[in-house]
Structure 1
Amino acid sequence: MGSLVGRYTIFLIEKSVSVFLYVVNKFLNKYFVLLLSIIFCFLFFSIYLTGGLMLWHILSGGITELGKLIYLSGWVVGAIFFGFHPEDNNFK
């Protein structure tokens, strides 16, 4: 059930962004659209991959080496983008 909700949420996000980019493309400069697309893709895939990595860690049980790598990658991304540091569990 959760995967269906997640897929539907991603579908809605992609549709709303495609409509937004179509409107921006229709009325504004194409280079501005390219810049917005690059920024959006970077943010979307950063969040999407981080969520996917953490989900894979949960599913893998955190025992395998791949699970440990994915878990640590999630912490690194969280520390870089959101300022979350696991050693003292607070935001700086």
Structure 2
Amino acid sequence: MIGSLLYLIASRRDIMFSVCLCARFQADPKESHLSAVKRIFRYLLGTQSLGIWYPKHSTSFEIIGFSDSDFAGCKVDRKCTSGTCQFIG
């Protein structure tokens, strides 16, 4: 289930955080992790019409992307944080 969700986050960025959080526990999953994955699937059923669609043939198709990262900037757990923004068209 997690593999399918990881494949899906390429077009559904709204579930990226939740899926990656669940993927951390694949080595030793608990019942609570399964219920979290089921909740993600229920969310996807309710939002089937959402997604990122790229046009096949367009003369003004331009992608501009920006990213920013902070390595070990969080004082609590010393994890890296990053963010991206893409403009299409």
Q: Flag the structure with higher strand content.
A: 2
TM-score normalised by L of structure 1: 0.32
TM-score (norm 2): 0.33
